């Protein structure tokens, strides 16, 4: 079953548009309720001194009930989709972090002639990652939303064209972090060439413009523009192995007064999926991308990530998962602030889980994750262990 999604950025936009045609869709209306209990050894994602300064107890337990919806309505060759959840986070100790959680993805899947497309949007509201909040405050509700369109006119063999355009917004309630409110326009166009025996090759160009409308300090920058020229290749190597590889050359220009704030260099991504047996799945993903900075004082970040994960079905009811990931983030265009500015960080994590399908409607999941991060400032260096138990009932 296919659901629409907004894809931002040149590399991801082209990869999404060169996927195979949508399968025949079936009407589906599903609602459910779920409850999750999370024990986090370091909910502050900081050192002990910084957590105390913020008034946060590092170890906490969070209870999160939610109502979910998953709807797909075919209308002739088109279809409407909506997927979302409405919930609330209750903290046992840090009640100041209690907040509602809203997540929605919706829109329309389009088919016309040899072309397929999507019009859609996303919305999220909830407590922001505590590590992105100021060192003297912990509360920050963030609203993230996007609107966008994608179109792909391709055939099984020969030339095709793809295009995508999106507008995204990010707004913070915190009186300091609101300087990181941002608006981004991005667009991608590409030309594809497909051969069943060889795969799909796409040559693309991407552009994005990010603006920070609430920057206050005269040394801070109001935004940046980036352009990317690149190529991507998608191929199903066998019935068990398939992948997408993208490479681009990206140029970033800022209006920052900070020296050497611009960037020119490679951005890339690799996604491989392998099924050694009908029960086992292995996925490898890695990439380097430019994205808006989430930390106070930053302009944009260059994030390099590596992720390896595996899933195994013990039977029809029990599934196991295991994985590891590494993320290296460098924030550029940073300006002097009254707080230490997060400019560099390296995060390593291992995770695993088990899912038990008690019945067609009832599902239990137990997940665990250990994370260790080193940063340029000790306030942002931490490690933590998270264990989550959730139960869901579908109607």
Q: Report the CATH number of the 10-394 domain.
A: 2.40.160
The domains of the chain are located at: 10-394
- Cα separation of 299 and 210, whole Å? 9
Least confident of 67-81, 279-293, 309-323, 331-345: 331-345
- Cα separation of 12 and 267, whole Å? 11
**pLDDT, tens digit (0-9, with 9 covering 90-100), for 247-275:** 999 999 887 766 777 889 999 999 999 99
Q: Answer with the residue of higher pLDDT: 179 or 318.
A: 318
Q: Using pLDDT thresholds of 50, 70 and 90, give the confidence band for residue 7.
A: very low
Nearest to 356 by CA among 389, 326, 323, 331: 389
CB contact at 8 A, 183 and 211: yes
- Cα separation of 81 and 70, whole Å? 8
What average pLDDT does the segment 62-82 reach? 95
What average pLDDT does the segment 376-386 reach? 89
The dihedral over CA atoms of 328, 334, 336, 341, expressed in degrees to the nearest 10, equals: -20
- Cα separation of 324 and 310, whole Å? 10
Instruction: Give the per-residue pLDDT at 370.
Output: 98
Q: Using pLDDT thresholds of 50, 70 and 90, give the confidence band for residue 5.
A: very low
Residue 198: how many other CB atoms lie within 10 Å:
10
Q: Answer with the residue of higher pLDDT: 281 or 343.
A: 281
Instruction: Give the per-residue pLDDT at 386.
Output: 97
**pLDDT, tens digit (0-9, with 9 covering 90-100), for 76-89:** 889 999 999 999 99
Instruction: Give the per-residue pLDDT at 53.
Output: 83
């Amino acid at each position: 079953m296919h659901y629409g999604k907004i894809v931002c950025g040149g590399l991801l936009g082209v990869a999404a548009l060169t996927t195979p045609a949508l399968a025949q869709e079936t009407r589906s209306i599903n609602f459910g309720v779920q409850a999750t209990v999370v024990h986090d050894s370091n909910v502050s994602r900081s050192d002990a001194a910084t957590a105390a300064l913020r008034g946060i107890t590092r170890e906490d337990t969070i209870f999160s009930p939610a109502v979910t919806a998953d709807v797909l309505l075919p209308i002739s060759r088109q279809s409407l989709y909506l997927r979302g959840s409405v919930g609330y986070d209750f903290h046992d100790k840090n009640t100041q972090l209690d907040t509602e959680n809203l997540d929605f993805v919706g829109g329309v899947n389009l088919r016309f002639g040899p072309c397929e497309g999507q019009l859609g949007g996303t919305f999220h509201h909830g407590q922001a990652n505590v590590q992105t909040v100021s060192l003297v405050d912990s509360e920050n509700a963030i609203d993230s939303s996007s609107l966008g369109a994608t179109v792909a006119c391709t055939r099984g063999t020969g030339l095709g064209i793809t295009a995508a355009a999106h507008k995204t917004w990010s707004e913070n309630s915190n009186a300091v972090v609101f300087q990181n409110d941002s608006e981004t326009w991005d667009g991608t166009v590409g030309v594809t060439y497909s051969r069943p025996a060889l795969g799909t090759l796409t040559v693309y160009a991407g552009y994005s413009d990010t603006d920070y409308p609430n920057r206050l300090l005269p040394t801070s920058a109001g935004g940046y523009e980036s352009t990317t020229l690149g190529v991507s290749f998608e191929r199903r190597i066998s019935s068990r192995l398939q992948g997408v590889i993208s490479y681009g050359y990206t140029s970033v220009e800022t209006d920052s007064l900070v020296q050497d704030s611009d960037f020119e260099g490679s951005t890339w991504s690799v996604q491989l999926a392998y099924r050694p047996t009908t029960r086992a799945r292995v996925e490898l993903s890695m990439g380097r991308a430019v994205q808006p900075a989430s930390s106070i004082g930053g302009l944009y970040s260059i994030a390099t990530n590596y992720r390896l994960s595996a899933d195994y079905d013990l039977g029809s009811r029990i599934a196991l998962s295991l994985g590891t990931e590494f993320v290296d983030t460098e924030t550029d265009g940073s300006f002097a602030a009254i707080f230490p500015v997060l400019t560099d960080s390296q995060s390593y994590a291992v995770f695993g889980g088990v899912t038990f399908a008690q019945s067609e409607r009832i599902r239990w999941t137990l997940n665990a994750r250990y994370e260790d991060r080193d940063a340029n400032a000790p306030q942002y260096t931490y490690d933590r262990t998270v264990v989550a138990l959730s139960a869901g009932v579908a109607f």
